[in-house]
Amino acid sequence: METPADIHFSTLMSVEVSVSACFDIMRAVIQRVLSASVQVGDDVVSLINRGLCVLIGIGLDDTEQDIEYISRKILNIRLWSNADEASDQRWSKSVQDLNLSILCISQFTLHATLKGNKPDFHYSMPAEKSRLFYNQLLEKLKHDYAQDKIFDGIFGAKMLVNIANDGPVTIVIDSKIKKHNATSSEDVTE
């Protein structure tokens, strides 16, 4: 049976490329927050104040390179102003610079494609394998930043995630675009 990507390929090459490059990725939806928490049933299982709430979608063919890239971007992306300087110093401080917290939540729906109006998840890594990858990402974040700054939900549980999106500021990061492109402007200007 043809998959949506196969059909895209047969009708328009450029679209197929964009579909594969957009979905065969680790994807992070990063929200800058004043607070965020996770409830499972009546219990609050995690709570942070200022920082990032990061929804993580792990793609079918993700590797450690994707974990490395997404982890680095979460820790270093500059989403805050420099309060000590002139007001045009926007986008100058990272979560680490300000010693803030990160609440990560696994979110397999980020790889949804649409069959008509019904979401389809065949680009998501299956649950048991993605749990390992997701845990690796958490360990990487704790290792590179601080054990006590990384918070988590409960993998696979039904959760209520309360997000106080500050700004709002929401960034979508996809891993593969970087991975295929080691000489991009990212590295030049970093």
Q: Write the DSSP symbol of residue 59.
A: B
Q: What is the smallest separation between the CB atom of 111 and a second copy, expressed in angstroms? A: 9
Closest to a second copy by CB, 7 or 83: 7
Q: Where are the alpha helices (DSSP H) in 59-126?
A: 64-76
Q: Write the DSSP symbol of residue 181.
A: -
Q: What is the smallest separation between the CB atom of 172 and a second copy, expressed in angstroms? A: 6
Q: What is the smallest separation between the CB atom of 132 and a second copy, expressed in angstroms? A: 20
Token code pair at residue 96: 């680490």
Q: Which residues bind a second copy (CB under 8 A)?
A: 2-4, 7-8, 11-12, 14-15, 17-22, 27, 29, 34, 55, 73, 76-79, 91-92, 94, 105, 107, 109-110, 112, 114-119, 158-174, 176-177, 180-181, 183-186, 188-190
Closest to a second copy by CB, 73 or 140: 73
Closest to a second copy by CB, 128 or 180: 180
Token code pair at residue 43: 């219990």
Closest to a second copy by CB, 11 or 147: 11
Q: What is the smallest separation between the CB atom of 157 and a second copy, expressed in angstroms? A: 10
Region for residue 158 given its phi and psi (left: phi exceeds 0; alpha: psi -120 to 50; beta: otherwise): beta
Give Cα separations from 38 to 44, 105, 106, 157 (angstroms): 6, 9, 12, 11
Q: How far apart are CA 47 and CA 69, in angstroms?
A: 25
